[in-house]
Structure 1
Amino acid sequence: MDRAQFAADQWRKEWPEINDLPMLTLGRLAELSARILQEELEPFFAQHGLHAGEFDVLATLRRSAKPYALTPTQLYEATMVSSGGMTNRIDRLEKAGLVERRKNPNDRRGVMVALTDEGFKKITHVIPLHIKNEERILSKMTIGEIEQLNVLTGKLLASLAD
């Protein structure tokens, strides 16, 4: 039994009239998110010398197409990280030789963050392995169940954006 179910069972016993389904559902989503990140993704990224946030920056740059460069603001918006957190990530990746700051050709005062050749090679190598890892995480579900989960979580996210 998962922790969310345990809590819902306690609520049902202590306060039978309460609707525990929202707590159960969101509790499970929260636990899934934490467990997948901590137990499945972070160790995978660590094997490749990265933290999850650094992977996110490299992947965002890689999927942005040539010249694989974005402004810090574009990175911040695409990765849902605080601007201070983004600066720290960029600094670490720059020290590792995976990204570089360049002058922004469209803004004399601005900078672009770009993948270096080494950063491009690293993320191009890691992405297929990451997808295999995600497939392994979801392997107890059928394709139809994964598609249904994708639709339902997308619907929930869209409802929160309104």
Structure 2
Amino acid sequence: MEGSVRDVNDSPGSPDHAALDRVGRIQAEWARERPDVDVRPQATIGRLHRIAALLTEELTPVFHRYGLSEGEFDVLAALRRAGDPFERAPGELAAFTMVTTGAMTKRVDRLERDGLVTRRRAAGDGRGRVVALTPAGRDLIDQAFTAHMRNERRLLDTLTPAEAARLEQLLTTWLGRIEPPG
């Protein structure tokens, strides 16, 4: 099989093995141990998984600099994106940040304790609640978001503009095919 991982000289001491990245080494070992299984998907999925972990390591320090966890940043960002008056229902926030309502409650509790959001009854619905940014919350998310975008730009600038555009297009296409609509 020309060009496959099975063609790599994958003995641990070989120069070819040393030149492989972490995913390539794992893939080569599986190909050696299980030649009956097509390990090619691991080349893409494994690298995406590794990149996601490395990106998280690079992104979270910016949130921490502003006293926020990644989840708290997401809540403040979802409120800020809502536009004036910068508020959403807790269920809407949970959907935007892809967490359970229980997890959302914990995040909102902390943000409220820190004076970054408020909770109130929804107008016209005594049972409904609304979470809103405070002026301090808006100032903080504006600063944190600006720093976050600078950090993401730094990370993306490791690719050429053409590479970044191709990657964005491929990821958009793939995500559109595997993520349920809505």
Partner of residue 90 from structure 1, selected from 108, 111, 115: 108
Which structure would you say has the larger Rg?
A: 2
SS in structure 2 of the partner of residue 36 of structure 1: helix
- Give identity over the alignment, percent: 41
Tell me if structure 1 keeps the 8 A contact 2:62–2:147. no
Deviations 1:99-150 (A, max 9, x none): 1102111422111000000000111112111100001111210122112111
Partner of residue 64 from structure 1, selected from 58, 66, 82: 82
Deviations 1:58-112 (A, max 9, x none): 0111011111000001101111112111111101100111011021114221110
What's 1:78 paired with? 96
What's 1:5 paired with? 24
Report the number of matched residues.
161
**For residues 68 and 13 of structure 1, do their structure 2 counterparts lie closer, same or farther at Cα, with a shift above 3 Å needed?**
same
Residue identity opposite 1:150 in structure 2: E
Residue identity opposite 2:160 in structure 1: T
TM-score for the superposition, normalised by structure 1: 0.93
What's 2:157 paired with? 139
Equivalents in 2 of 1:17, 1:144: separation in Å? 37
After superposition, the CA RMSD in angstroms is 1.4
- After superposing on structure 2, the runs of 4+ consecutive aligned residues of structure 1 that deviate more than 4 Å are none
What's 2:143 paired with? 125
Equivalents in 2 of 1:53, 1:110: separation in Å? 23
What's 1:46 paired with? 64
Question: Does 1:31 find its partner at 2:55?
Answer: no
Deviation, 1:52, is 0.4
Deviation, 1:50, is 0.5
The gaps in structure 2 that reach 5 residues or longer are: 1-19
SS in structure 1 of the partner of residue 27 of structure 2: helix
SS in structure 2 of the partner of residue 114 of structure 1: strand
Residue identity opposite 1:13 in structure 2: R
Residue identity opposite 1:62 in structure 2: R
Deviation, 1:17, is 4.4
